[in-house]
Amino acid sequence: MKQMIEDIEVRAREELFININPIQAAGRLTPEAMKAIISYGDGYSTCDWCGKPFRLDKIRRPPISEFHVELAKFVGMDQARVVPGARRGFQAVVSSLVEKGDSVIVSSLAHYTEFLAVEDVGGVVKEVPLNEENVITGENTAQKIEKVKRETGKLPKLIMMDHFDYMLGNEHDIHGVAKVAKDYDISFLANCAYSMGVMPINGREMSADFLVGSGHKSFASPAPSGIVATTDEWADKVFRTTQMVGDVTGRKFGIKEVEMMGCTLMGANLIAMMASFPKVRERVKHWGDEVKKINYFVNEFRKIEGNKVLSEMPRKHTLTKVDTTGSFDKIAQTHKRRGFFFSDELKKRRIVGEFAGATRQWKLNTYGLTWDQIKYLTHALHDIAKKYGIN
């Protein structure tokens, strides 16, 4: 037991290494967020000044209430709430809209948490096929809706579509899908876990009824943290307040929102999101530079013989899936450390975050790396290739 706790190592990979982990890049804390969690680490720290009407998102000191207003504006929606992770945002929306047996349209690259949110209420997911560029289009979405209608006799209740998917980091045709959703009068959730907080997002322009974002994935915040935003039209449904009355006591809890389970994301995580918010608002303006860096990287990367990029090209996102079956994996076949030779070589060069041991298909994310770091990373890969005789 004592040993167990001593086994919690000091985590310093963000300080000591270049970290290309696909899911960690945009969730690194800002210095402001780090200060915030030190100050607000204690359990119910955000409740010091909670007064009427006794709900977290109404608290004015610290300015939680103002943050909620600004957050909704930032993503181009009318109302926003913070939740313990994007998955809890999917859950809130699905639980409000979908009943047992209902169909929900998702992408063939949908994140598994979208599946779970639907399964939890007894719904059924229906995947939209990718086109030949591994992108979801409005057309394919419409065809899938028609198919569901034919097979089940009912329209799907909800379309959940990833703005950028978790697997390839491809951009999907959110506008096309939104148009189809409107045509069929099906509500539409845009999963912006990989976009909200790194690039400019406007839910209204996307014609989305719901936006979901991730704090720990793309908002420089600690886990778990996430965002669910909606329009005034839908807020009454998804943020509906409790109607329960105690049959003995007559108690009511009128302002507490059912899907939020009352007060939502509290404590250090919330204050960290707030503390990171000004930098997040600023950084989305520089998304173009991030895209330039990943495109520089993939172009250099493909100069190594046998290397391939599986994500769409040119890159529109820093999350990228690559294939080194024709290069590093050939070395792994005969190396005594197998695929780990590659991790060893990267680590020697102070690079971590690739999937250890993988030398065929793997993902990386260059978000937040400086140009110097990008060039260093590129050089490191060329250097490893050269060492093992790959052209």
Return the residues of window 329-388 that contact a copy of itself according to CB under 8 A: 356
Q: Are strands 18-19 and 226-230 parallel, antiparallel or unpaired?
A: unpaired
Q: Looking at residues 229 to 258 of the shown chain, list those that interact with a copy of itself (rule: CB under 8 A).
A: 242-244, 246-249, 251, 253, 256, 258
In the chain, the amino acid numbered 180 is: V
Q: Which of 13, 175, 350, 379 binds a copy of itself (CB under 8 A)?
A: 13
Q: Which CB atom, from 37 or from 304, has the smaller least distance to a copy of itself?
A: 37
Q: Which CB atom, from 63 or from 314, has the smaller least distance to a copy of itself?
A: 63
DSSP 196: B
Strand order in the sheet with 158-162: 79-83, 226-230, 210-214, 187-191, 158-162, 103-107, 124-128
Q: Which CB atom, from 217 or from 293, has the smaller least distance to a copy of itself?
A: 217
Tokens of 38: 């030190």
Nearest-angstrom CA–CA distance, 200 and 69: 17
Nearest-angstrom CA–CA distance, 284 and 76: 14
Nearest-angstrom CA–CA distance, 11 and 2: 19
In the complex, minimum distance from the CB of residue 339 to a copy of itself, in angstroms, rounded to a whole number: 13
Q: Which CB atom, from 196 or from 206, has the smaller least distance to a copy of itself?
A: 196
Q: Which CB atom, from 136 or from 298, has the smaller least distance to a copy of itself?
A: 136
Q: How many residues bind a copy of itself (CB under 8 A)?
A: 98
Q: Which CB atom, from 94 or from 208, has the smaller least distance to a copy of itself?
A: 94
- Three-state SS string across 190-259, please? EECCCCECCECCCCCCCCCCEEEEEHHHHCCCCCCCEEEEECHHHHHHHCCECCCCCCCCCCCCCCCECC
Cβ count within 10 A of residue 337: 13
Cβ count within 10 A of residue 183: 11
Region binding a copy of itself by CB under 8 A among candidate stretches 59-67, 186-194, 201-209, 301-309: 59-67
Q: Which CB atom, from 22 or from 203, has the smaller least distance to a copy of itself?
A: 22
Q: Looking at residues 119 to 148 of the shown chain, list those that interact with a copy of itself (rule: CB under 8 A).
A: 119-120, 125-129
Binding mask 176-215 vs a copy of itself (x if CB under 8 A, - otherwise)? ---------------------------------------x
Region binding a copy of itself by CB under 8 A among candidate stretches 57-65, 183-191, 204-212, 370-378: 57-65
| Cα atoms in the 13 Å half-sphere on the side-chain side of 309 | 26
* Phi, psi of 214, deg, nearest 5: -120, 130
Cβ count within 10 A of residue 391: 9
In the chain, the amino acid numbered 302 is: R
Tokens of 112: 């598994």
Q: Looking at residues 60 to 119 of the shown chain, list those that interact with a copy of itself (rule: CB under 8 A).
A: 61-63, 66-67, 70, 84-85, 87-88, 91, 95, 108, 110, 112-113, 115-119
Cβ count within 10 A of residue 321: 19
Q: Which CB atom, from 240 or from 286, has the smaller least distance to a copy of itself?
A: 240
Cis amide linkage into residue 278, ω under 30° from 0: no
Nearest-angstrom CA–CA distance, 101 and 116: 14
Q: Does 277 bind a copy of itself (CB under 8 A)?
A: yes
In the complex, minimum distance from the CB of residue 385 to a copy of itself, in angstroms, rounded to a whole number: 26
Region binding a copy of itself by CB under 8 A among candidate stretches 39-47, 181-189, 201-209, 310-318: 39-47
Region binding a copy of itself by CB under 8 A among candidate stretches 38-46, 171-179, 326-334, 377-385: 38-46
Q: Which of 168, 206, 272, 385 binds a copy of itself (CB under 8 A)?
A: 272
Q: Using an 8 Å Cβ cutoff, are 126 and 141 in contact?
A: no
Q: Which of 271, 298, 322, 374 binds a copy of itself (CB under 8 A)?
A: 271
Which candidate, 173, 111, 162, places its Cα nearest to that of 139?
A: 173
In the complex, minimum distance from the CB of residue 303 to a copy of itself, in angstroms, rounded to a whole number: 30
In the complex, minimum distance from the CB of residue 293 to a copy of itself, in angstroms, rounded to a whole number: 20
Q: Looking at residues 278 to 317 of the shown chain, list those that interact with a copy of itself (rule: CB under 8 A).
A: 278, 281
H helical segments located in 246-370: 267-283, 287-301, 328-334, 340-348
Q: Which CB atom, from 223 or from 386, has the smaller least distance to a copy of itself?
A: 223
Q: Which CB atom, from 116 or from 155, has the smaller least distance to a copy of itself?
A: 116
